Every structure is written in C-alpha cells, then in structure tokens.
C-alpha cells in the first residue's frame, strides 16, 4: 500500500505464499523505491521440505537422496546504496538425511540442527551466531583405497563450468582486502555417533564413536591466513572402537574419553586443556616375529613406505612456528586393560 516513486516515500507490503508439501512463506515490512531501493521487515519460512528442492539439485550432486524440513525466521534490512543486514536469524533443520548413491551407510542422518540469534552484516563481512546445536544422529565418512574422501565427491563436475585454457601469463595473486569474521557463542553437539573408515593400504581400518557430546565457543577470521580460536572446549566421547577389516574383534576400545576446558588457537598452533581422562576398555599390543608391532603397522606408524602412511594432508596456517604446542594439566587413565603379546 502507498507505493510511490517519490523520494523517501514508504510503502507497506505483505506477502503470504503456500509452498508444496505444506510449506509456507510470510513476508511483511516497508519498501522505499527512491532515491535507492530500501526494504526492511520480517521473514518467516516454515516447513520447507527437501523433497520439493530435490528435483532442482539432483543432477548436480552425486547423492541418491536428501530429506529434511527447514524452518527459518529473521528480521532484515536492505539498502541498495549500503548493503544487507539480518538480525534475530533462526534456523531449524529436522529429520535430515543425506545418502550417497550405491554407497551405504548414509553420509548424514540427524534429528535436529538448530541455529539461534544470528546476525549478518554483509557490508562488514561479519556473521555472529548465538548458538549452534547439533543433536541425535549419525555422521559417516570414508576414504577409499585411492585416497578419495566420499564427502569431497558430493558435487558433480560440470563441463559447462570448466574454464577455457588461459595461455596468458597469470598475475601474482593479490591478498584478500577484506576478511570475514565469524563468531559462534556456543557450539553444542549431543548424542551424535561418528564412523570413519580408511581403506588405504596396507589394510582398511575404521574408527567409531558411539556417542559424542561437546560444547565450545568459536571465532574465525578469513583472509590471507585463516585465524581460528575455540575456547571453553568440553568433550565427552563414549563407546570408542578401532577396528580392522576381517578382524574378529576390535583392535582397541575405550568406554569413555573426557576433555575439560580446552582451548585451540590455529594461528599460534597451540592446544591446551585442564584435564584429559580415559576410562575402561582394552587393547592388545602384538609384537610379530620380525619385531614389528601389529597395531602400529596398521596405522602406518613407522612404516618404511611413507606413501602408505595414514595421515591427513598438511594444513596451511599462519604463524612462524612450524610445530604445534600441546599442554594438558592432568591426564588420567583408568581401568584400561593392555595385553602384551
């Protein structure tokens, strides 16, 4: 109502739309057309079903299925002469399922992911989030025998997106002028299981955690070098198992591992914690006739063939130090059985 092309003339608007599969979109606020486009108001998106979006993305991803429902709400302010701002942004994704074609188990099955009290200042490249909570589910990842991570192959390569060959000399890359600042007041994970499988030689191994719970505060700054600080880290892991393909029982188990008051600084390459406690479980250390330790061989520790080592690719970070510094005030190990053979 009262829409006009006069300078600073405000008009009220309201939009309501029913989406497929019981979804609903509500928009209301004020609009100014001159001297620059301005809009502010509130937006609510309820019960957005992944099944509705799936036909638009299935040819672009190597997935067999995506399921879930998403609710989003926020206050927004847009000015074409300035930028976009979001306040009181909340998002809840429920009953999520991400499955890879022909490769069980599913990549991700999560009961709920919730984000609350978000703020986006696009002109300042700043995003803050009050809380991010992930709960009740399972996440799986696998590296195949050639060293390819299944999550990295989700997006299908597109011939249309391949750039034409550039025969001109490339100029020296310029540093990023503006870095993004991201902060999460409280990141929480509860009742989540994880299974990681590594099928690279010499033998496939898997690491499973039946139940993960942790919380921390997080700040991140992008730019020429990634800066990341995580504070107040508290972690509890339950039901840990290290397995080898074909082995009748796990190579090692732990009932629980607890970390308290941890702090990670990526720039300073430093990790500290007040305490680390491991309780319950067992493992066997088998020394073979040639002197090799079976468990260490499976993990690639001390292997002659360095290409077979099961270790992640190096991560480039800032700072002059080439090594990490670790400090834990107290380490406790209780009721863990070690069999020496």
Find out whether the peptide bond into 94 is cis, omega within 30 degrees of 0: no
Q: What percent of the chain has pLDDT over 90?
A: 44
What does pTM read for this prediction? 0.79
Report the distance separating Cα 32 and Cα 10, nearest Å: 5
Name the one residue in this structure whose structure tokens are 């020394």: 287
**pLDDT at position 307, please?**
41
More confident: 336 or 285 = 336
Per-residue confidence (pLDDT) for residue 293, from 0 to 100: 67
Q: Tell whether the model's pLDDT for residue 183 goes beyond 90.
A: yes
Determine the pLDDT at residue 160. Answer: 52
Q: Which residue has the higher pLDDT, 38 or 92?
A: 92
Burial class of residue 169 (count of CB atoms within 10 Å of its CB; 0-12, 13-18, 19+): exposed
Q: pLDDT digits over 117-146, tens only? A: 999 999 999 999 999 999 999 999 988 888
Measured CA to CA, the distance from residue 114 to residue 67 in angstroms comes to 16
d(CA 38, CA 83): 10
126, 99 Cβ separation under 8 angstroms = no
The answer to whether 197 and 209 are in contact (CB under 8 A) is: no
pLDDT over 60 at 172, yes or no: no
In this prediction, residue 198 carries a pLDDT of 87
The lowest-confidence range among 17-21, 222-226, 311-315 is 311-315
List, for residues 276-320, the tens digit of each pLDDT value.
999 999 887 767 667 666 666 666 654 444 444 445 444 444 444
Give yes or no for residue 89 having a pLDDT over 60.
yes
Say yes or no to pLDDT of 164 above 90.
no
Q: Mean of the pLDDT values across residues 16-25?
A: 91
SS3 55: helix
Q: Which residues have CB under 8 Å from 245's CB, separation 6+?
A: 203, 204, 205, 206
Which of 52-56, 255-259, 287-291 has the highest mean predicted lDDT (pLDDT)?
255-259
Locate 55 and state its tokens. 């036909």
Query: What pLDDT sits at residue 299?
Result: 62
The pLDDT score that the predictor gives to residue 38 is 87
User: From CA 244, how far away is CA 208, in angstroms rounded?
Assistant: 11
**pLDDT, position 169:** 54
What pLDDT is stored for residue 315 in this prediction? 42
- Return d(Cα 281, Cα 295) in angstroms, integer: 16
Please state, in angstroms and rounded to a whole number, the distance separating the CA atoms of residues 279 and 336.
Answer: 6
Q: For tokens 């034409």, name the residue.
A: 164
pLDDT score recorded for residue 163: 54
User: Regarding predicted confidence, which is higher, 150 or 134?
Assistant: 134
Whether 184 and 132 have beta carbons less than 8 Å apart is answered as: yes
């Amino acid at each position: 109502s009262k829409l006009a092309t006069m300078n600073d003339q405000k008009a009220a608007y309201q939009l309501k739309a029913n989406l497929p599969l019981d979804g609903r979109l509500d928009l209301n606020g004020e609009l100014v057309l001159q001297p620059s486009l301005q809009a502010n108001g509130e937006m609510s998106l309820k019960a957005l079903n992944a099944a509705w979006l799936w036909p638009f993305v299935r040819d672009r991803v190597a997935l067999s299925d995506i399921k879930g429902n998403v609710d989003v709400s926020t206050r927004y302010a847009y000015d074409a002469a300035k930028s976009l701002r979001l306040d009181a942004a909340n998002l809840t994704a429920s009953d999520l399922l991400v499955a890879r074609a022909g490769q069980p188990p599913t990549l991700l099955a999560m009961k709920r992911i919730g984000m609350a009290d978000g703020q986006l200042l696009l002109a300042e490249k700043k995003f803050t989030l009050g809380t991010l909570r992930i709960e009740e589910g399972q996440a799986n990842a696998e590296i195949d025998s050639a060293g390819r991570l299944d999550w990295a192959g989700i997006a299908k390569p597109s011939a249309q997106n391949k750039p034409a060959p550039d025969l001109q000399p490339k100029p020296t890359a310029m540093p990023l002028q503006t870095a993004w600042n991201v902060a999460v007041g409280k990141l929480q994970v509860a009742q989540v299981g994880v299974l990681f499988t590594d099928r690279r030689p010499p033998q496939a191994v898997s690491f499973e955690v039946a139940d993960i719970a942790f919380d921390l505060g997080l700040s991140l700054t992008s730019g020429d070098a990634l800066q990341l600080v995580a504070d107040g880290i508290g972690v509890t892991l339950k039901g840990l198992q290290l397995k080898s393909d074909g082995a009748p029982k796990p190579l090692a188990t732990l009932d629980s591992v607890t970390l308290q008051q941890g702090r990670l600084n990526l720039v300073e390459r430093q990790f500290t914690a007040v305490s680390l406690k491991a309780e319950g479980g067992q493992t066997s250390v088998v020394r073979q006739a040639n002197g090799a330790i079976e468990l260490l061989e499976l993990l690639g520790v001390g292997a002659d063939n360095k290409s077979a080592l099961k270790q992640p690719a190096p991560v480039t970070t800032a700072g002059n130090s080439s090594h990490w510094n670790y400090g834990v005030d107290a380490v406790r190990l209780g009721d863990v059985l070690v069999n020496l053979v």
